[in-house]
Structure 1
Amino acid sequence: MRTIRNGLVLALGITMTALGATACGGGGDATPPAAGPNEHVDLTLATFTEFGYEALIPEYERLHPNIKITHRKTGQGGPYHEELVTKLAAGSGLADVTALEEGHLSDFLDKGSKFNDLSKIGPADASPDRWLSWKYDAAKTKDGKLIGYGTDIGPLAMCYRKDMFQAAGLPTDPEQVKPLFATWDSYFAAGADYVSKTKGKAWFDSAAQNFNAMVNQLPQGYIGNDDKLAVEGNQGIKDAWTKVTDAVAKGESAKLTAFSNEWNTGFKQGAFATKVCPAWMLGVIKEQAGPENANKWAVTAAFPGGGGNWGGSYLTVPTQSKHPKEAAELAAWLTAPEQQIKAFQAKGTFPSQVKALSDPALLSQTDAYFGGAKVGELFAEQAKKVQKPQYKGPGDGQIQENASSPALQAVEQGKSAADGWNQMVDAAKKITR
């Protein structure tokens, strides 16, 4: 489970400006030669939160006796990526295999010269057809360079409280609730009905959580293909803003800041009835709602507007690596379907590989907490609904965290929708100028 946490500082945008002028073994340098078959090689692997690689690393070392892997694992993705930016600018200190979270990927794609092209130095079996096409393509620079192998993904479904639905006279069966989640219009209409029937109880947790998912579904997001801010001229973003803020005005939001203590407690207290639910969110719900709420939560293979993705990561090989070929082989092995199934079984990281999505070990996975739902099959179905990646230019993730989310929180606290929009636009301009 990985996602961007709220409150990231702007250090990513500030530090990135120095990278273009900093030498760090750039793309013009010759790739170091591969080690001999028996030559000892020390590799470093840097990840954050949970990738499920703890048992895989010693397995790889057994298969490759000349390879020794040092795993650098940190707890939070935000500080991890900030430190990565500093090391990238300094030209030293990066691991041979360095993980990047998809929400931060846009801040590195325009620095392609700092990463090896895995389509050229990686093993032949790590071909494009290993991955869902949208996952593979999202790690390509504008000139077609592949800087990362996809690890996991966060296909989107909807989670809801069955007991709260029943109390409001709404259907509770996962198949019967699908029409409520068919479109964003039907979702917010159902929310207005729920608020009315329950005399003011909240339908969803946070305006920003829904807005982020809606923006990610658009053909173009905050940044255009020309890497310029596209918020003001993007009608899709304006429409999403209107729908979300209208729902806030109707009392549908619990007004909770995602990943805050109050938000965590909200799961346990039944503070909201529905939740945008990427695959990794099931673990969050179980942890925060606690055993006393088992079987009250349900998940259904439906999401407003079709499919979507929220979360997931990539393994890159920076040009700083002295052993890029061996590093690429390790990254390719870790992201092979067989290994990603093991990672899924260990930590619930949902695989992005085509073969893994049809693996019986994945499709047979159920979750007793959610009433025995076939979560492996369900999220595999949702993953296939995503058509292509939205282009995310530099600053995209920062706009989400430091512009749109705070502006929507301000609206939830009483600011007008129009003033909130202006706040978001002004903050986005500061991030991208």
Structure 2
Amino acid sequence: MLRALLTCVSAVALVAAAGCGSSSGGTDQANTANGPVELTVATFTEFGYEDLLKEYEQAHSNIKITQRKTGQGGPYHQEFLTKLAAGSGLADVQALEEGHLSDFLDKSAKFNDLNQIGPQGLQDRWLKWKYDAGKSKDGKLIGYGTDIGPLAMCYRTDMFAAAGLPTDPAGVKSLFATWDSYFAAGDQFTKATGKAWFDSSAQVFNAMINQLDTGYLNTDDTLAIESNPGIKKSWDQVTSAATHGQSAKLTAFSPEWNSGFKQGAFATKTCPSWMLGVVKEQAGPENAGKWAVTDAFPNGGGNWGGSYLTVPTQSKHPKEAAELAAWLTAPEQQLKAFKKTGNFPSQVKAMESPELLATTNDYFGATKIGELFAAQAKKVTKAQYKGPKDGQIQENVTSPALSAVEQGKSPSDGWQQVVDGAKKLVR
């Protein structure tokens, strides 16, 4: 569920390295008397593609694009699964969030292999772990990588000052060194101010789980909830903090959560790169300069979020759809999307771009966010395996159980709710 931000950067260099037109080859030549090729692109939340799709149409007179844009990722992916099973109703280019990727990789027969129908020689475009995660067990590449979600920490400097905590990015590093130090600082903050340290137990827990070598499922798709001690340790830490008043008890992306940014309902926020755009939008101009972001993150960082563009076999124009998806995920296009929405590119050339590295965000105190998140991204060396139902466990099992604990359920009873719920999904 993600949401969770440059003109064609150094056009000569990037065209040579990644090819501004590398994925458009031959499409204009396909123009026929039958009229334009009509393509649909389905996305959720903010991908930053509105202007890019218009740009692609202007460069390809025979292509007409309609974008279907929806809100939250959960309902979007459930509808995706329904239409995939029905064999109709999907877009030519269908976005897919990494947390739900596992629910689709085992249905690779329903997707075109982009290595077969798309432009050739693109495999080195992406970080290796990002590219590999888009391949099914039978070797098909079902998705081109869009963004990734390297983790940093956002915090309210004015609220830190009120609690007697350091406010500059260097000064807060010791507070965010480990989860133990993070929650210890949370106790200090809540005692001093009576306010919440973080927005939602589920948001913090998800970041913690994404740092583990093994998540909810083992690589053989068996459930790891009870066998992986890291999951239970994370549960104990975050529920203990919640019972000590550190959680604002808000559901992410709800109206109350949105309002919480404006109202100063919490002091810290786990911030994958795409979250910066959310913070800025929801906190509003009146809070500009009050939020800061630091590369310090408990236990060293990780990845949370990021998406792929797929071409289902339902598409009547798979070649043209693949060319569009390849163009959208080229470094120069993803750099433009980054500037607009904060979605951090997964393309190597984009991450090395001087323009990206120099990118600042005045809303967060003119921090060089490009440089910050590029450094955070390099800390991730492999993607955590996401087996079938992984995204559903997060959204439909652990998040409701954590919310129940925030509302008074005991952590032990909440944990049993997690175990029972996960077992119902993964048999």
For 2:258 and 2:55, the matched residues in 1 are separated by 36
Residue aligning to 2:63: 67
Residue aligning to 2:13: none
For 1:125 and 1:222, the matched residues in 2 are separated by 34
For 1:136 and 1:288, the matched residues in 2 are separated by 32
Residue aligning to 1:348: 342
SS at match of 1:160: strand
For 1:167 and 1:380, the matched residues in 2 are separated by 31
SS at match of 1:273: strand
Shift in CA distance, 85/372, structure 1 to aligned 2, threshold 3 Å: same
For 1:262 and 1:92, the matched residues in 2 are separated by 36
Question: Share of identical aligned residues, percent?
Answer: 74
SS at match of 2:42: strand
The answer (yes or no) to whether the contact 1:151–1:351 under 8 Å persists in 2 is: yes
For 1:413 and 1:59, the matched residues in 2 are separated by 48
SS at match of 1:99: strand
For 2:58 and 2:27, the matched residues in 1 are separated by 18
Shift in CA distance, 115/190, structure 1 to aligned 2, threshold 3 Å: same
SS at match of 1:44: strand
- List runs of 5+ in structure 1 lacking aligned partners: 5-33
Residue aligning to 1:152: 147
For 1:409 and 1:169, the matched residues in 2 are separated by 30
Residue aligning to 1:86: 82
Is 1:232 matched with 2:238? no
Alignment of 1:78-117 (within 5 A): 78-117=74-113
For 2:71 and 2:191, the matched residues in 1 are separated by 41
How far the C-alpha of 1:97 sits from its partner, in A, is 1.4
Shift in CA distance, 36/246, structure 1 to aligned 2, threshold 3 Å: closer
User: Which amino acid in 1 is paired with 2:278?
Assistant: V
User: Which amino acid in 1 is paired with 2:158?
Assistant: D
The answer (yes or no) to whether the contact 1:135–1:389 under 8 Å persists in 2 is: yes
Is 1:187 matched with 2:182? yes
For 1:125 and 1:68, the matched residues in 2 are separated by 26
SS at match of 2:174: helix
Cα-to-partner distance string for 1:90-130 (whole Å, 9 max, x where unaligned): 11222221111122211101111111121232212422x21
Is 1:209 matched with 2:203? yes
Greater shift, 231-240 or 40-49, is seen at 40-49
Supply the RMSD in Å over aligned alpha carbons.
Answer: 2.0
The answer (yes or no) to whether the contact 1:35–1:323 under 8 Å persists in 2 is: no
How far the C-alpha of 1:167 sits from its partner, in A, is 1.7
Is 1:308 matched with 2:308? no
For 1:253 and 1:73, the matched residues in 2 are separated by 31
For 2:284 and 2:31, the matched residues in 1 are separated by 50
Is 1:424 matched with 2:418? yes
How far the C-alpha of 1:35 sits from its partner, in A, is 8.4
How far the C-alpha of 1:39 sits from its partner, in A, is 4.1
The answer (yes or no) to whether the contact 1:207–1:255 under 8 Å persists in 2 is: yes
User: Which amino acid in 1 is paired with 2:215?
Assistant: G
Is 1:249 matched with 2:243? yes
Q: TM-score w.r.t. structure 2 length?
A: 0.89
How far the C-alpha of 1:140 sits from its partner, in A, is 1.5
Residue aligning to 1:7: none
The answer (yes or no) to whether the contact 2:3–2:275 under 8 Å persists in 1 is: no
For 2:107 and 2:400, the matched residues in 1 are separated by 28
User: Which amino acid in 1 is paired with 2:328?
Assistant: L
Shift in CA distance, 66/265, structure 1 to aligned 2, threshold 3 Å: closer
How far the C-alpha of 1:340 sits from its partner, in A, is 0.9
Q: TM-score w.r.t. structure 1 length?
A: 0.88
Aligned residue pair count: 402
Cα-to-partner distance string for 1:237-278 (whole Å, 9 max, x where unaligned): 011111111212322222222222222222222222111011
Shift in CA distance, 195/49, structure 1 to aligned 2, threshold 3 Å: closer
How far the C-alpha of 1:231 sits from its partner, in A, is 0.5
The answer (yes or no) to whether the contact 1:100–1:315 under 8 Å persists in 2 is: yes
Cα-to-partner distance string for 1:51-108 (whole Å, 9 max, x where unaligned): 2222222332343333333333333433322222222111122222111112221110
Point out 4+ residue stretches in structure 1 off by more than 4 angstroms: none
For 1:376 and 1:88, the matched residues in 2 are separated by 36
Alignment of 1:17-56 (within 5 A): 37-40=29-32, 41-56=37-52
Shift in CA distance, 145/196, structure 1 to aligned 2, threshold 3 Å: same
Residue aligning to 1:130: 125
User: Which amino acid in 1 is paired with 2:387?
Assistant: G
User: Which amino acid in 2 is paired with 1:177?
Assistant: V
The answer (yes or no) to whether the contact 1:3–1:310 under 8 Å persists in 2 is: no
How far the C-alpha of 1:36 sits from its partner, in A, is 9.8
Is 1:412 matched with 2:391? no
